[in-house]
């Protein structure tokens, strides 16, 4: 009840039903498409992920998860931390969208190719005597080539037109899932699944490009501006490093587990994180729809903007608690039922790791505020410190507690990065208190009290 009410109040007070480009009806419709996209993708990924984990077993599934995590450490570089900036610049200067898209596409392409080389060289250094790991990482790393096409998806978000991108992604995902089912039924080797994953990313890029053309847009309008690229790098280098830091403390645990304890530990831990991270799309879907409207509100009325930011944090905490409480209590039965007794150790890991959801949701919400307030360097500092805390704690706790230590490291580092470190600077302290207000459910309790009084 509270979740529905908070979302209703947030959107109702954000915009009137017919206000400009970012009307209430478009916001709700766009968010609905984004949620449908992630729910559909999550459903298919859960089904095929469970089947694949059972088919491969903890050792091979762990090696596959290790390869994905290893590539993910470098894929953030290809994103360049510019997605939020694309939305902001297109909303503020729609006439220059061709230059914005062309410049950022070119920047991402150069960095993606460089990251590809670093990833392949890195796996030979990390596991010099394991050719299967080399092939898995090399095949998976080919997905980096198609990263630049993400700018099209961000363009759809800036226009609050998620439908076309959602349909393109889900069509490819359905085909990919069918192929993976066929591979399992025919007892295909591990490398075949890596090739299918890379083909999936490539086809999604093609689908996004075709959807962009169908919307009567043209790539001919895209143009690269060296001056614009340099300005973006000067502005967004904190976001680049921040994004890398986020990936480090979300994926380094799997890489470190693989290096310190072996692939089986990675397989068990990956099952827990796969379940724990299922809901991470929710704040991204909400904020991608609300970000353009929040930008407009900030320009028009700062007091109203501050109220909306508090409501965003309140909503994020309520959504997160709806996941973390039942997820923590039912962790072991859920793991045993879905993945089988070979993965039962993942239950305890999941019960701890899932509480990081609270701080992930708050961090995603704050990232929009950081960009709007020009405080991305503070976001950089928080995430770098969080990544450092995670790595250090992993070094200490993994040898003692195994996967459970890695989960605890993730939870603590997320709490520091997304919330606690905001208390340090006067510029972000007010956001810390807003987050505390949301975490302590103050507005929820006040609402309950008023409801009982009336």
SS3 128: coil
The gap from C-alpha 383 to its chain's centroid, in whole angstroms, comes to 14
Tally of CA atoms within 13 A in the half-sphere of 156 that contains its CB = 28
Interval 65-106: pLDDT, tens: 899 888 988 777 766 666 666 666 666 666 666 777 788 888
Q: Which residues have CB under 8 Å from 228's CB, separation 6+?
A: 99, 100, 103
**Tokens, residue 432:** 């810390």
**Tokens, residue 275:** 């379940």
- Is the torsion defined by CA of 148, 154, 156, 159 positive or negative? negative
Interval 193-223: pLDDT, tens: 999 999 998 998 888 888 778 777 777 778 8
208-213 contacts at long range (C-beta below 8 A, 24 or more positions apart): 208/149, 208/152, 208/153, 208/165, 208/168, 208/169, 209/149, 209/152, 210/168, 211/152, 211/156, 211/164, 211/165, 211/167, 211/168, 212/152, 212/155, 212/156, 212/164
Interval 274-299: pLDDT, tens: 888 888 878 877 887 777 777 777 77
Q: Is the pTM of the predicted complex or chain greater than 0.85? A: no
- What is the full DSSP assignment across 252-275? HHHHHHHHHT-HHHHHHHHHHHHH
pLDDT at residue 15 in the model = 44
Interval 392-419: pLDDT, tens: 999 999 999 999 999 999 999 999 988 8
Q: Which residues have CB under 8 Å from 316's CB, separation 6+?
A: 283, 286, 361, 362, 364, 365, 438
pLDDT at residue 161 in the model = 61
How many C-beta atoms surround the C-beta of residue 181 within 10 A?
14
Task: Answer whether 68's CB lies under 8 Å from 267's CB.
Answer: no
pLDDT, mean of each 10-residue run, the chain (454 residues): 48 46 51 62 78 90 90 75 65 69 83 88 89 93 87 72 69 88 92 93 86 76 80 73 72 88 90 86 78 75 81 90 93 90 92 93 86 76 86 93 93 91 88 90 75 60
């Amino acid at each position: 009840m509270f979740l529905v009410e908070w979302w209703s109040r947030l959107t109702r007070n954000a915009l009137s039903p017919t206000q400009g480009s970012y009307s209430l009806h478009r916001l709700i419709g766009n968010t609905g498409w984004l949620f449908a996209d992630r729910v559909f993708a999550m459903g298919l990924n859960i089904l095929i992920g469970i089947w694949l984990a059972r088919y491969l077993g903890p050792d091979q599934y762990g090696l596959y998860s290790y390869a994905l995590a290893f590539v993910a450490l470098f894929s953030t570089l290809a994103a360049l931390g510019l997605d939020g900036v694309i939305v902001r610049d297109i909303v503020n200067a729609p006439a220059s969208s061709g230059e914005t898209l062309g410049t950022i596409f070119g920047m991402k392409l150069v960095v993606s190719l460089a990251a590809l080389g670093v990833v392949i060289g890195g796996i030979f250094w990390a596991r010099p005597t394991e050719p299967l790991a080399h092939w898995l990482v090399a095949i998976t790393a080919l997905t980096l080539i198609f990263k630049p096409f993400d700018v099209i998806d961000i363009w759809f978000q800036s226009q609050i037109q998620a439908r076309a991108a959602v349909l393109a992604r889900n069509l490819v995902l359905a085909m990919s899932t069918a192929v993976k089912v066929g591979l399992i039924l025919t007892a295909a080797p591990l490398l075949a699944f890596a090739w299918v994953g890379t083909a999936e990313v490539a086809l999604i890029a093609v689908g996004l490009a075709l959807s962009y053309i169908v919307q009567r847009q043209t790539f001919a309008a895209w143009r690269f501006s060296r001056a614009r690229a340099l300005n973006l790098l000067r502005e967004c280098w904190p976001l680049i490093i921040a994004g890398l830091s986020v990936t480090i403390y979300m994926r380094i645990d799997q890489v470190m587990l693989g290096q310190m304890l072996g692939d089986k530990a990675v397989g068990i831990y990956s099952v827990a994180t796969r379940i724990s991270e299922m809901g991470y799309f929710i704040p991204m879907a909400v904020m991608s729809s609300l970000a353009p409207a929040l930008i407009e509100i900030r320009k028009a009325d700062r007091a109203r903007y501050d109220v909306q930011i508090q409501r965003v944090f309140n909503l994020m905490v309520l959504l997160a608690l709806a996941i973390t409480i039942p997820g923590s209590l039912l962790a072991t039965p859920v793991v045993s039922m879905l993945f089988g007794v070979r993965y039962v150790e993942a239950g305890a890991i999941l019960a701890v790791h899932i509480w990081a959801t609270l701080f992930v949701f708050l961090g995603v919400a704050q990232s929009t505020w950081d960009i709007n307030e020009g405080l991305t360097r503070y976001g950089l500092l928080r995430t770098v410190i969080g990544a450092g805390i995670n790595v250090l704690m992993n070094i200490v706790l993994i040898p003692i507690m195994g996967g459970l230590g890695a989960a605890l490291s993730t939870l603590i580092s997320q709490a520091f990065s997304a919330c606690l470190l905001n208390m340090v600077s006067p510029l972000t302290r007010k956001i810390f208190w807003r987050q505390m207000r949301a975490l302590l459910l103050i507005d929820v309790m006040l609402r309950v009290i008023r409801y009982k009084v009336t």
